[in-house]
């Protein structure tokens, strides 16, 4: 079986993504019933984290344990990566000892360089460019609450960051309309915008973006690595908070998603994130189920 990687949503065909999400729902039900399912016995996941994480680490580590395998947490502080060992050398060594790798880092090219030298599947656990695992969980959450997302309208409000880029890829792969409202200077990736041009509208007004939307999504104003821009960004994004006025523009049954961690009173009001339309806790939990389905797919392929 050819080694498959998951560095972006485009690495799986739309039918494969659907299959992974169907499987994620099955694995969730199995887990809820307390049934043991251990197809990855003895498999080892190597996890490289060059940025902080709560959900990604826990969901991968718990997920691998539940599937019968184990995982190793690696940070630059206590590996040779932090002392300048080339990513290619790390990839060759790590992939000769573990069965699957997950990486969270800054430059997207680092994940690509790692994958190019890896003998085993590599999963992107977030880069400055994108966060495809989060989109699996977001899509699973929308589908479980509102059904098929094909042809629906999604509003992205806030920063044109790694999550916004991932929504652009999702609009292409899951076939929905995406309205993006970002302040000038904070637009998402130009080539992704071009790729999704028939499904995307770029706006400045969050209320216009939210009108009749089925899903409203946002994320922090200052992502990891942008902390020193926090004050400037607070000013630039002041008009981009997802509050009840924004939610009121959307369809009455619209849901609100946020990948977390969230800053109440900045990108989202407490009323919205803690309110009746928010599905953020299901979204966070679905990281576990979606990534279990993804690891099963990458390691067992047709056998899963
Ligand atoms: N949403 C997400 O990836 O969370 P963490 O940064 O906690 O992993
Ligand atoms: N855009 C955020 C997502 C965190 C999960 C960041 O990169 O920090």
**What CATH number is given to the structural domain containing 224?**
3.40.50.1370
Are the C-beta atoms of 127 and 106 separated by less than 8 Å?
Answer: yes
One domain, residues 75 and 146: no
DSSP string computed for 141-179: HHHHHH---TT-EEEEES--SHHHHHHHHHHHHHT-EEE
In a domain, 3, yes or no: no
One domain, residues 115 and 240: no
Task: Quote the CA–CA distance of 36 and 185 in Å, as a whole number.
Answer: 49
State if residue 105 touches ligand 2 by the CB under 6 angstroms criterion: no
108 band by pLDDT with thresholds 50, 70 and 90? very high
In a domain, 2, yes or no: no
Ligand 1 mean position, distance from CA 198 (Å)? 30
One domain, residues 170 and 268: yes
Q: What is the mean pLDDT of residues 283-297?
A: 98
pLDDT at 45: 98
In a domain, 101, yes or no: yes
In a domain, 1, yes or no: no
pLDDT of residue 149 exceeding 70, the answer is: yes
Ligand 1 pocket: which of 50, 54, 125, 281 to mutate (most atoms <8 Å of CB)?
A: 54
Which structural domain, as residue segments, surrounds residue 271?
A: 132-280
For the chain, give the mean pLDDT: 97
State if residue 259 touches ligand 2 by the CB under 6 angstroms criterion: yes
pLDDT at 304: 62
One domain, residues 205 and 94: no
One domain, residues 167 and 253: yes
One domain, residues 33 and 101: yes
Question: Is 108 a known active-site residue?
Answer: no
The domain total for the chain is 2
One domain, residues 102 and 208: no
One domain, residues 127 and 138: no
pTM of the model: 0.98
Q: What is the pLDDT of residues 160-181, one digit of tens each?
A: 999 999 999 999 999 999 999 9
């Amino acid at each position: 079986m050819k080694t498959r990687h998951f560095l972006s949503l485009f690495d799986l065909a739309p039918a494969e993504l659907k299959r992974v999400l169907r499987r994620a729902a099955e694995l969730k039900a199995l887990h809820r019933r307390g049934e043991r399912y251990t197809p990855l016995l003895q498999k080892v996941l190597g996890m490289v984290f060059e940025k902080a994480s709560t959900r990604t680490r826990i969901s991968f580590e718990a997920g691998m344990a539940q599937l019968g395998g184990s995982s190793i947490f690696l940070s630059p502080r206590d590996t040779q990566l932090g002392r300048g060992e080339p990513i290619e050398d790390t990839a060759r060594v790590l992939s000769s000892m573990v069965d699957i790798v997950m990486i969270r880092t800054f430059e997207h090219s680092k994940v690509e360089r790692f994958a190019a030298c890896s003998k085993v599947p590599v999963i992107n656990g977030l880069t400055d460019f994108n966060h495809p695992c989060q989109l699996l969980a977001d899509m699973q959450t929308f589908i479980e609450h509102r059904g098929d997302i094909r042809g629906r309208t999604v509003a992205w409000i806030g920063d044109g960051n790694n999550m916004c880029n991932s929504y652009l890829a999702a609009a292409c792969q899951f076939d929905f309309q995406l309205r993006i409202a970002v302040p000038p200077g904070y637009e998402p990736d130009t080539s992704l915008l071009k790729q999704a041009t028939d499904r995307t509208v770029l706006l400045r007004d969050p209320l216009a973006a939210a009108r009749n939307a089925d899903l409203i999504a946002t994320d922090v104003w200052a992502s990891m690595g942008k902390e020193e821009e926090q004050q400037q960004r607070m000013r630039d994004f002041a008009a981009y908070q997802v509050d009840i006025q924004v939610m009121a523009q959307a369809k009455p049954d619209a849901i609100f998603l946020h990948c977390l961690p969230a800053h109440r009173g900045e990108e989202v009001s407490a009323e919205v994130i803690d309110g009746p339309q928010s599905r953020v806790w299901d979204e966070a939990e679905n990281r576990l189920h979606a990534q279990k389905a993804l690891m099963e797919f990458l390691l067992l392929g047709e056998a899963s």
